[in-house]
Amino acid sequence: MSWLAPVTLAFLHALYRLVLVFKYIFRSREEPRPIAAERSKVPQHLAFILVPNPEAGDEDNEQYMLNSVEKVAGWCRMAGISRLTVYDREGVLAKCSLELRERLLAPSKSEEVEESPVECDIRYPLTPPPSDDAESRPLSPHSGISIPKLSVTTIRYPSNTSKPKRRASIGRAAIKRRRAPQHSQKPQEPLLTVYIASYQSSKSAIAAAASAFLQDIRRNGNGRSAPAKPSLPSIQELNAVLEGEHGFPSPELMIVHRRPRVGQLRSPAELWGFPPWQTRLTEIHWERYAPTAPFWRTSRSSEISSSLDETEFRRALDEYDSAEMRVGT
Amino acid sequence: MLLQLISSSLGWLRDQATAKAQDALLSALAAGPIPQHIAFIMDGNRRYARSKGMQVKQGHTDGFYTLRKMLEVCIKLNVRCVSAYVFSIENFKRSPGEVTALMDLAEEKLHELCQKGDILDQYGIRLVVVGHKDMLPERVLAAAEKAENLTRMNNRAVLNLCMPYTSRDEMTSAVQATIQSHLENDDESAITPQEIDAHLMTSLAGSPPLDILVRTSGVKRLSDYLLWQCSEDTQLQFSSTYWPNFGLWDFVPIILDFQRKVWAQNSTL
């Protein structure tokens, strides 16, 4: 009778597959609200995990990722999301950070030549270069604070607006402005900061932060010998490093997007090595059912989308809006 | 009286048949790949209680019995390790009345679990309390230590009760322990993720890598639970059922999903 269990299991899986196909066919097709629709809660920081299709070529996956990030950055600006973290495990986006920066900057360059309808006339200085993927080194000989290698690239770029706003924090030499009357001032639109992360920004970054603290303890103890009572890092100190200037803050919402594959049915979410420190309170969204057709369609690339679908982004915002937030209480 | 006898006999037969059918189902599932480590975020006890017009305390008690039931299901499937998020460090922010009730429940159930013949003894499960234990009231800490000592030699499976616990606290403790170890051994090499992993509370309890994390009540967050452990190669299953209502029929698709993943991975090797 030892054959009965495997046969029963095979039958269960066949039945389950039928259920998944049924659920895919009759999945909810309710249209999510537009990106700029009124919502009671909009995340200020969105994380976007991209999982490539292992059956597609490297270059194809790379273009898919770049196209998707470019679109998501534009949608973030429309939705008023000021921070975007993009993550792929293998670091494809990190390797293409220069191309990505050009793609993200391209819309704002064309806006700089647009005529401003308001009385403020501002020229934005060049966007600061991405932060260094720095080796561990002290800020200064006397600060005693080592910079750990957190492997996060940061891109900051101007807002997508035809009404340029005052930015007092930018270098004054590049700014030419006239003061506008108080009643015609419009609220500032946020910058979009894009953090590019990969598997190297994950557990390795926590280890790098630990190594930096170890170096500082040794330095404070005057050399190799351990101080009598070492000041070990607290949660707050570790957080200050990992979410600080060389890391990235915790996102409020995360979209896990697997590039669709033919025949892909429902699968549970996974985090693909996303930095664990920052996922503490993050709302996780993923599409349970792949947008492409199931197994009976052929896998010609022309039938497969070249980037993420806007519907998925809008659905994630709607889900975040309806989520109940309780921190321990 | 005859009718009552027939009714109770039929009820008994029905229960026996259900139990046999469940065991047969679990045997069938156990014929395929089985996760080594499953974690539960047991969410929804209070909403469950409110939906039934019960007191919140009863919701937590029913939640405990669901944990026992799921633990038994996991053992019959040959799962080696079950972790449950019993109490978060953040939960101390709840009303003093609820915190006291939860601590009372924890103490009572810890004593109950390690009774002779109860589930830990019956199945050879070692109980480990994972978390910032010095934050627990003295009586709960004593009950926890007693339960850990009584089950220390059990080796069929491990039950991690995470209380009071947050993942950032666990990761920070692991970083501190790793730094301390490097200082004591005068080790100048860079700290690696593997070293931090080895100092996590779950690793020190002998837990294998986490295969599945289940959160009930429809919430899709990790809420500072096992963040390091589930960041890679862990399936996240979010069920809309409230925890006290969670049962075999919610759990079977979770196991089937895991088996599909393992078979898909094996077919690409």
User: What is the rounded average pLDDT of the residues A146-165?
Assistant: 71
Q: Is residue B27 classed exposed, middle or buried when 0-12, 13-18 and 19+ CB atoms within 10 A define those classes?
A: middle
A138 phi-psi bin (left φ>0, alpha ψ -120 to 50, beta other):
beta
B211 is an active site residue? no
**Helix crossing, B2-29 with B56-76: angle to 10°?**
60
- In three-state secondary structure terms, B130 is strand
Which residues from chain B sit within 8 angstroms of residue A277, using beta carbons? 168, 171, 227
* B220 CB-near residues (< 8 Å, 6+ apart): A283, A284, A285, A319, A323, B238
The span from the CA of A245 to the CA of A252, in Å, is 18
Q: How many CA atoms lie within 13 A of A135 on its CB side?
A: 2
Residue A46, helix vs strand vs coil? strand
Q: What percent of chain A has pLDDT over 90?
A: 49
- Report the C-alpha gap between A197 and B198 in whole angstroms: 25
Task: Report residue A18 CA to chain centroid gap.
Answer: 35
State which H helix or E strand residue B251 sits in.
helix B248-268
> Hey, are the CB atoms on A214 and B191 less than 8 Å from each other?
yes
User: How many Cβ pairs closer than 8 A exist between chain A and B?
Assistant: 163
Question: What CA–CA distance (Å, rounded) separates B269 from B261?
Answer: 13
Query: What would the two tokens of residue A24 be?
Result: 């895919």
- Most confident range (mean pLDDT) of A124-133, A252-261, B253-262 is B253-262
Among A285, A317, A260, A290, residue whose Cα is nearest residue A49: A285
Give the pLDDT of residue A187: 52
Answer whether residue B151 shows pLDDT above 50.
yes
Q: Fill in the DSSP letter of residue A13.
A: H
Report how far residue A61's alpha carbon sits from residue A84's, in angstroms, rounded to the nearest whole number.
20
What is the distance between the alpha carbons of residues B158 and B205, in angstroms, rounded to a whole number? 8
Asked whether the predicted pLDDT for residue A52 surpasses 60, the reply is yes
| pLDDT tops 60 at residue A23 | yes
Q: Does residue A97 register a pLDDT over 70?
A: yes
Which chain A residues have a beta carbon less than 8 Å from that of B28?
4-5, 8-9, 12
With contact defined as beta carbons under 8 Å apart, do B242 and B47 qualify? yes
Minimal CA separation from B91 to chain A, in Å: 4
Burial (Cβ within 10 Å: 0-12, 13-18, ≥19) of residue B69: middle
**CA of B69 vs chain A CAs: smallest distance (Å):** 22
- pLDDT band of A304, cuts 50, 70, 90: low
- The pLDDT score that the predictor gives to residue A121 is 26
* Closest residue on chain B to A5 (Cα): B28
Segment 218-247 of chain B within 8 Å of chain A by CB: 219-224, 227-228, 230-238
Contacts of B165 in chain A (CB under 8 A): none
Is the bond leading into B164 cis (omega within 30 degrees of zero)?
Answer: yes
Q: Which chain A residues are closer than 8 Å to B27 by Cβ?
A: 5
- pTM for this one? 0.85
DSSP single-letter state for residue A278: G
Q: Other C-beta atoms within 10 Å of B6: how many?
A: 10
Q: Which of A55, A211, A286 to mutate to test the interface with B (most CBs of B within 10 A)?
A: A211
pLDDT value of position B1: 84
How far apart CA B149 and CA B131 sit, in angstroms, is 17
pLDDT number for residue A124: 27
Helical H segments across B130-247, by residue range: 138-150, 167-184, 193-198, 201-204
Which residue type does B215 have? R
> Which residue in B43, B169, B224, B250 is the catalytic one?
B43
Taking only the tens place, the pLDDT of each residue in A260-283 is 776 667 789 999 999 999 999 999
pLDDT value of residue A182: 45
Given a cut of 60, is residue B194 above it in pLDDT?
A: yes
Residue B257 in contact with partner chain A when CB distance is under 8 A: yes
The whole-angstrom separation of Cα A165 and Cα B9 is 80
Q: What is the pLDDT of residue A210?
A: 97
Chain A residues lying within 8 Å of B167, measured CB to CB: 276, 280
Answer yes or no: is pLDDT of A301 > 50. Answer: no
DSSP H helical ranges for chain A? 4-25, 58-79, 92-95, 97-112, 203-220, 235-242, 310-322
Tell whether the model's pLDDT for residue A297 goes beyond 70.
no
DSSP letters, B34-83, are --SEEEEE---HHHHHHHTT--HHHHHHHHHHHHHHHHHHHHHTT--EEE
